[in-house]
Structure 1
Amino acid sequence: MGRFFALVLGIAALTVPWRDAEAQKSWNAFRWEKDKKHVALFNGDQVIWQFNFDPKEDKPYFHPLRTPAGLDMTLERPADHPWHRGLWFSWKDINGVNYWEEDPAKGVSSGRSLIKAVKTTLDKHTQTANIAMRLVYADSANTVLNEKREVVVSQPENGGYTVSWYHEFEAVTDVRLYLEKPAKYGGVEWGGYAGLSFRGSDQLKQPTFVASSGWSTQADLTGYGEKERWMGITALNNGKPVALVIFDHPDNERHPSPWYIWHAAGHNLFFTPSLLFDGPLALKKGEKLRLKYRVWVTDGEVDADAIEAQYRVFAQE
């Protein structure tokens, strides 16, 4: 499957200096593992990242997702929300059908995000992966939305790497993309989530949310809803600093995106660029929606200047 955006294949990760000498010594032990349900990059015997695409589960996702030094960043199917899948993309509501929450007995939602085709291209020299996919969104009777997706994972180097998401959705019928109205607009306290989402590992301690406007917080929070070009977390994992940042591309609909956060210290860590936070989005039959996001995973301490440098590279694509 060819590219459907004007993209740059060679994605160079701007990263902070390496912080872990022991990890650097073992940096020559990369290998790939691939089967019909997942693709993973190993450093020695440890998974650095794994992308899962079991067609029985719908909704492809990354878990585990680790820093180059091997520190966990994601949480998969926690008891409080078993449909949370590390780093993944999911709509909330399409034409009144739920595509987010799942039946615990079946492990899938009422609205299905069906994986129809996957093609992986892996570079054993640079450890770069290109994953092209075709998905179909369907209710119990009809297909409502088709998607072409590419996920590109850059070479891990200098303590970090990027995961880029490129989506092209095409409406098969008239479509209304929606979510539960957030409290900011008179809705429920927990409303406002949908799209590319991150659920953080329980090993992430003392997390700080940071955003492009200069806003930051360590406080418990449900909602937020402000527009930002990027948002991320810095935290400690086993006493070592790590960070994960999500970038919203300037070509995206409703850029800069509103963001949704769900954080309670010691309990949960979740955030998403919420395209639909301010209201539903309608697509006429045959109309297309293109979205581009990038996720930066890194060891070490990072500041706003380092994050902004990453964002500028992505914004120019």
Structure 2
Amino acid sequence: MGQQEFALLEERLDLPKGAWARALRKTLRRGGQAVLGLTQGRQRCYVYPLYTPAGFAVTSESPADHPHHNSFWIAADHLHCRMPVADGKWEEYTYNFYVDETFQGRAPGRLIEIDSRLAAEGPGGCRIEQEIEWRGPVEWAAPAGRLAAVEQRTIRLSVEERCHVIDVESRLEAREFDFSLGPTRHAYFNLRVADSMTVANGGTVRDDQGRTGGSGVTGADAKWVCYEGPVGGGHRAGVAVFPHPTDHADLSWFVTDWGVITVGPFRLKGTVVLRGEALIARYRVIVFDGEMKVEEVAGRFLQYVKEGA
């Protein structure tokens, strides 16, 4: 494998006869160096690990306080399917695709990757395309769970000297039923930084308006949020999250000092997706070594908006 080539390699465990793994991980490598992992867990698929160019991991996979916080993930706890019934009417079936256990009376659904493809994209770049089924829990007349939605997720990666630039486009399609999402703070794009990077451990979180700390940023209409902190051995690293403004007219954040960044287009107001249509939500994540000045983060956000115009 050449120095500039990407490969998406499935990790295989040498388990005893009769034993099997309940989760699957594929690692994206460039010239042998791990960049990120695509993990299929019991409840959802997500990105973990997530590395800086220097090899520092900047996210937490399943912290004890919130085991459903899976590093770098997409989820929603209020997805309402409009199920056809008699006389041309419909009933609303509500599903939880965020918490791994029953949450507010809703049993957990699963996000299952059914296909993934890797392709090169220019020098130092690649593209991963995933097809993901959003399936509800086992229930009456749906022994495998209802197919609530189908997501086409595209992850584009560009490698720079001191940062990885990751673009995510999520296209959530209504294939079998109309559905609505939200309003809820438990959606849509989520990131949980490594424990070492939290504010209590010397980390910082800020937004484009100069607000700092989780309480300062939560509920704000920030254009971007940046988290920085220690990653070991005297080193620091960070992640900046840019929701694309075209997809986020109803923009609001949920951010905490203990490591959560959540942003989505339906925190304050729900949205309806009709059968044959799709919700599109785009994000850019900058994963960097060291510290990044506010002016550089702001410049990178403007470039992102310009590219996607």
TM-score range, shorter chain: 0.7 to 0.9
The aligned counterpart of 1:282 is 272
Query: For residues 35 and 132 of structure 2, what CA distance do their matches in structure 1 show?
Result: 25
Secondary structure at 1:91's aligned position in 2? strand
CA contact (8 A) 1:58 1:115 kept: no
The aligned counterpart of 1:138 is 135
Query: For residues 138 and 223 of structure 1, what CA distance do their matches in structure 2 show?
Result: 33
Query: For residues 273 and 76 of structure 1, what CA distance do their matches in structure 2 show?
Result: 18
Of residues 205, 228, 231, the one that matches 1:209 is 205
Query: For residues 132 and 231 of structure 1, what CA distance do their matches in structure 2 show?
Result: 26
Map of 1:102-117 to 2, 5 A cutoff?
Answer: 102-103=100-101, 110-117=108-115
How big is the shift at 1:29? 9.2
Query: For residues 246 and 62 of structure 1, what CA distance do their matches in structure 2 show?
Result: 15
The aligned counterpart of 2:223 is 229
Query: For residues 228 and 293 of structure 1, what CA distance do their matches in structure 2 show?
Result: 14
Q: Cα distance 1:29–1:154, how it changes in 2: closer, same or farther (>3 A)?
A: closer
Q: Cα distance 1:196–1:91, how it changes in 2: closer, same or farther (>3 A)?
A: same
Question: Are 2:29 and 1:41 aligned?
Answer: yes
Query: For residues 81 and 66 of structure 1, what CA distance do their matches in structure 2 show?
Result: 21
Over residues 172-220 of structure 1, what are the superposed CA-to-partner deviations in whole Å (9 max), with x where a residue is unaligned? 312121255xxxxxxxxxxx22111111112223121111222223xx6
Over residues 118-176 of structure 1, what are the superposed CA-to-partner deviations in whole Å (9 max), with x where a residue is unaligned? 111247x9442211111222224332222211111112x22101111012122231212
Query: For residues 221 and 42 of structure 1, what CA distance do their matches in structure 2 show?
Result: 38
Letter in 1 for 2:245: P
User: Bigger radius of gyration, 1 or 2?
Assistant: 2
Letter in 2 for 1:249: H
How big is the shift at 1:50? 1.8
CA contact (8 A) 2:68 2:98 kept: yes
TM-score, normalising length: structure 1: 0.74
Map of 1:1-317 to 2, 5 A cutoff?
Answer: 32-35=7-10, 37-41=25-29, 47-52=34-39, 54=40, 57-95=42-80, 96-103=94-101, 110-122=108-120, 126-139=123-136, 140=138, 141=142, 142-155=146-159, 157-172=160-175, 173-178=177-182, 180=184, 192-204=185-197, 205-217=201-213, 221=215, 224-238=218-232, 239-254=234-249, 257-263=251-257, 268-316=258-306, 317=308
CA contact (8 A) 1:130 1:153 kept: yes
Secondary structure at 2:67's aligned position in 1? coil
CA contact (8 A) 2:247 2:280 kept: yes
Secondary structure at 2:47's aligned position in 1? strand
The aligned counterpart of 1:6 is none
The aligned counterpart of 2:90 is none
Letter in 2 for 1:203: S
Secondary structure at 1:251's aligned position in 2? helix
Secondary structure at 2:256's aligned position in 1? strand
Secondary structure at 1:216's aligned position in 2? coil
Q: Cα distance 1:31–1:147, how it changes in 2: closer, same or farther (>3 A)?
A: closer
CA contact (8 A) 1:223 1:260 kept: yes
How big is the shift at 1:229? 1.3
Off by >6 Å, runs of 4+ in structure 1:
28-31
| Count of matched residue pairs | 263
CA contact (8 A) 1:240 1:300 kept: yes
Identity over the aligned pairs, expressed in percent?
21
